[in-house]
Structure 1
Amino acid sequence: MKTRYAWVCAFWAMNCNWCAAEVITPKHAEARYSEDDMLPVRSKALSPGTVQRRVLDAVGLPAFFLIGEDARSRTWLKQRLPLLRKLKAVGLVVNIESKAALLNLRQAAPGLTLSPVSADDLAQRLNLRHYPVLITASSIEQ
């Protein structure tokens, strides 16, 4: 019976320009989330601190960086802004409380993309405990 049903659906789709994906939409796909829904972001495995430079072998990895809304991160961002722009690095804001704080960081980093993201899993995979940090295909450095 299942085979017959699958055959009928396939026949219908091919001959009537019908696509099951257009008709059967999961309820979760209808929900729209805004950036505000992701805030606040707290990465429990990460805190502001010193990061020792180390070599990374990740060919093809685009440059990205981790920051928070703390003073250390803001100073680091300001000092490294030209390099981050040159690398077209994407910023992951791993500890931030509000939309206003995120807007302040974005104003301090024109031309860069900053997204609020919990990074506990990433921190574990890269053996990171602190930020701010720049991650490229060849290194992890502050």
Structure 2
Amino acid sequence: MPKFLLVVFVGAFASVSAIAELTIIYDTGHTKPIAPLLKPFVSDQVLPDHPGTAADSADQNVLTGATLGNLLPVRSPGLLVGDLAGRQLEPGVQERLAQGNPRPFFLIGSDRVSLEWLATHRDTLISLGAVGMLVQADTEQDVRHVAEISQGLSITLGSGSDLASALGIDRYPVLITRDGITQ
């Protein structure tokens, strides 16, 4: 290996270790700690309220894969299981759906009504390439029931409150496409 490349190669590794510690270059005073956001991904060890140097906190903060138990329960305040029949979309929602919804998606819960809806519409949802959001689940068993029925569908866990509010809906299960919101 030529001397020049060896120096560049060694120099690159030396500079990586020099940037390992973070330095705050600007703080608006409105920053929020990241610890609450990391809780689902952190082992049972406690995150410090005020992070110290990388050397001080490296042994305390061990990031791990999120466990299902850390993500539960899933709640969506303002959303209830039920029928959308007779409800009209708020003005502008249909236009927003037509413009900004390239892929069909659905909201479901782990309740009996949602599970029956999912079982009934599963093949249609797969053919549409729809993705789902589980907006209500209390236990790991709830999530497993949904997973058993949804074989072949991609479903994530999360609160659907903000999304439902933006779309003007308060019920699930629903399918949301460019053409509108249906059950």
Smaller-chain TM-score bracket: 0.7 to 0.9
Quick check: which one's strand share is greater? Answer: 1
State the Cα distance separating 1:34 from its structure 2 match: 2.5
State the Cα distance separating 1:19 from its structure 2 match: 4.6
5+ residue gaps, structure 2: 1-10, 23-33, 42-61
Q: Which one has the largest radius of gyration?
A: 2
Counterpart of 1:47, as a letter, is L
| Other-structure match for 2:153 | 112
Residue by residue, what CA displacement relative to the aligned partner does 1:65-111 show, whole Å, maximum 9, x if unpaired? 00001111111111111110011211111011111111111101110
Aligned partners of 1:45 and 1:120 also within 8 Å: yes
Q: Percent identity over the alignment?
A: 30
| Other-structure match for 2:126 | 85
Aligned partners of 1:53 and 1:139 also within 8 Å: no
Query: Which residue of 134, 139, 142 corresponds with 2:180?
Result: 139
| Other-structure match for 1:11 | none
Tell me the SS of whatever aligns to 2:99: coil
Query: Which residue of 40, 58, 69 corresponds with 2:73?
Result: 40
Q: How far apart in 2 are the matches of 1:92 and 1:132?
A: 10
Aligned partners of 2:79 and 2:170 also within 8 Å: yes
Counterpart check, 1:66 vs 2:107: yes
Q: How far apart in 1 are the matches of 2:178 and 2:104?
A: 7
TM-score, scaled relative to structure 2 = 0.60
The structure with higher relative contact order (CA 8 Å, sep 6+) is: 1
- Pairwise CA RMSD: 2.7
TM-score, scaled relative to structure 1 = 0.76
Moved more, 115-124 or 31-40: 31-40
Moved more, 23-32 or 125-134: 23-32
Tell me the SS of whatever aligns to 1:140: strand
Aligned partners of 1:65 and 1:89 also within 8 Å: yes
Residue by residue, what CA displacement relative to the aligned partner does 1:4-61 show, whole Å, maximum 9, x if unpaired? xxxxxxxxxxx625458x7247985963323321111111110111124754323453
Counterpart of 2:132, as a letter, is G
Equivalent pairs, count: 128
Query: Which residue of 97, 108, 115 corresponds with 2:138?
Result: 97
Q: How far apart in 2 are the matches of 1:37 and 1:48?
A: 24
Aligned partners of 1:59 and 1:138 also within 8 Å: no
| Other-structure match for 1:3 | none
Q: How far apart in 2 are the matches of 1:53 and 1:90?
A: 24
Classify 1:43/1:59 alpha carbon distance in 2 versus 1 (closer, same or farther; 3 Å): closer
Counterpart of 1:58, as a letter, is Q
